[in-house]
Amino acid sequence: ANAPKPLDPLKLAANLTYLGRQGLINIGGLSVGYLSGRFHPQHFPDPPDKTEIYRPYKSWYCDDHLDDLLDNTGGGPDPLPASSPLRFGVDVLLTSEWPAFADIAKQPPPALPEALKSDPARVETLGSPAVGALVSGIATRYHFAGTEDVYYAMPPFRNKCHATRFYALGGCGNPHKEKSIKAFSIVPLAKMTTAQREKLREGAGPSPFSTEEAPAGDAPK
């Protein structure tokens, strides 16, 4: 009765954990939010399949998965309690897909990799609107994504509390030798002072994933 469900985090081996569809997990003191799968416009509005745990893994997520993650990380309509360590956001967000940019045709992301810039059709369909909404709602320090099989380190952009740095990584052993692994030393947001969190916004630009942004004064103290 206490066996973990297939969609729950499951430790497979030392330092190897299957996270599941979506959720939050604490890894070494860092708060990590995650959403797996891809955006499928036909299935996104559907409620979660209650029998999914007994069936082969579906490659798409739905609106309820997104809402649950937003609600649990302070990106939903109701604010988190003042005692919540997540009131300043999450340290890391993991998604399969890139976020969709607000207006990529008129304003391409800065320093976009040449492998993407040389393929206009690919650029026009780049990213998921659902992940774009997720990034706009969650104040995350770092966001890591794959699927495009290129390495991309985007300049930091302001979120509602501090700033986000987005990194895309290539697949392991990819033929173009794009970087697929990167090391970081991260101080948890919950252990940073207000001044340290505000300093993260220095030099950061506006978010390319949303048209509205909470002013710095609205950030939790």
pLDDT tens for each residue of 53-75: 545 567 888 899 899 999 998 88
C-alpha count within 13 angstroms, C-beta hemisphere, residue 136? 18
Other C-beta atoms lying within 10 Å of the C-beta of residue 78: 7
Q: Does the pLDDT at position 121 exceed 90?
A: no
Q: Does the pLDDT at position 219 exceed 90?
A: no
Amino acid at 27: I
CA gap 207, 120 in Å, rounded: 22
Give the CA-trace dihedral at 32, 165, 64, 89, to 10 degrees: 60
Q: Does the pLDDT at position 199 exceed 90?
A: yes
CA gap 32, 142 in Å, rounded: 10
Is the separation of the CB atoms in 212 and 164 below 8 Å?
no
Tens digits of residue pLDDT in 166-185: 999 998 888 888 899 989 99
Q: What is the pTM of this model?
A: 0.85
Distance from the Cα of residue 2 to its chain's centroid: 30
* Residue 138, both tokens: 């969650």
Other C-beta atoms lying within 10 Å of the C-beta of residue 128: 25
Amino acid at 158: R
